[in-house]
Amino acid sequence: MSEFDLVIFDCDGVLIDSEIISARMLVAELSRLGLTIDL
């Protein structure tokens, strides 16, 4: 098993602008469940 020296959690989007990724994943998952939303 690998050993990590450091793990970074970017919960506020400072390092990576993940808002659009999260929104697209939400739309995809809801679509898979038969629901549609507008962003």
User: Sorting pLDDT into bands at 50, 70 and 90, what band is 12?
Assistant: confident
In a domain, 5, yes or no: no
pLDDT tens-digit profile of 21-35?
889 999 999 999 999
In a domain, 1, yes or no: no
Count of structural domains, the chain: 1
In a domain, 17, yes or no: yes
Asked if pLDDT for residue 1 goes beyond 80, the answer is no
Tell me the residue range of the domain where 20 lies: 10-38
Task: Read off φ and ψ for residue 18, nearest 5 degrees.
Answer: -95, 5
Question: Which DSSP string corresponds to the chain?
Answer: ----S-----SSSSSS--HHHHHHHHHHHHHHTT-----
In a domain, 2, yes or no: no
In a domain, 3, yes or no: no
CA distance 23 to 39: 8
